[in-house]
Amino acid sequence: MWNASTGKHLFTYHGHNGVASAVAWSSDSTRIASGGGDATVQVWQAV
């Protein structure tokens, strides 16, 4: 995750075996979903 204004790296989510090819925020901004090249979907609590 990066700060969009500064480009500074903030933290990294781990879970896919390979690249994350799609990312989406929930409408209430509390979760992030990612689809990976390993054919899995991960749902994360936004920090």
pLDDT band, residue 8 (cuts 50/70/90):
very high
Is residue 46 predicted with pLDDT exceeding 90? no
Domain holding 29, by residue range, is: 1-47
Instruction: Tell me what pLDDT residue 34 has.
Output: 94
Residue 26 token pair: 């929930």
Instruction: Tell me what pLDDT residue 15 has.
Output: 86
Instruction: Give the number of domains in the chain.
Output: 1
Go through the chain and tell me how many residues it has.
Answer: 47
